[in-house]
Amino acid sequence: MIETLEDQKAIGFIRYTIISFPDADIPYPEIGYGIAEVNERGKGYACEAVKLLVNYLFDGYPCERVAAMVDTENLPSIKVLEKIGFQREGVLRRATFRDGKWTDLAMYSLIRGDHQKGDVKC
């Protein structure tokens, strides 16, 4: 859960899922997040939450990467990922159906060696 510091009001969510493949020795986490309260968007809550979660995942798991999928039209979410250091790996065309239309999803990842713990100002 993402909440405000002032009054601990729940304004969004953050989660991770461990993704494993039969041929991979070490699974990797995929993250997701969202700020449901429209008035709280753009204040750095998502950036701070993602930064904290990524630090937790790299500190607590032997993973080499953390992944995230984002709608290619969701520019604020893309900005959050890129600010933290995630890089776009590719686009899954027409991968999800939302609001009555097919949309593309971009796959982003942050590699352990590229992770700059604590350097990001949200």
What pLDDT score does 118 carry?
67
Counting the structural domains of the chain, the total is: 1
For the stretch 78-120, pLDDT in tens is: 999 999 999 999 999 999 999 999 999 999 999 999 998 767 7
> Does 121 reside within a domain?
no
> Does 45 reside within a domain?
yes
C-alpha dihedral over 52, 70, 76, 100, to 10 degrees?
-140
> Does 83 reside within a domain?
yes
Domain that holds residue 106: 2-114
Mean pLDDT, all residues of the chain:
93
> Does 70 reside within a domain?
yes
Report the CATH number at residue 10. 3.40.630.30
CB 28 within 8 A of CB 63: yes
> Does 52 reside within a domain?
yes
> Does 120 reside within a domain?
no
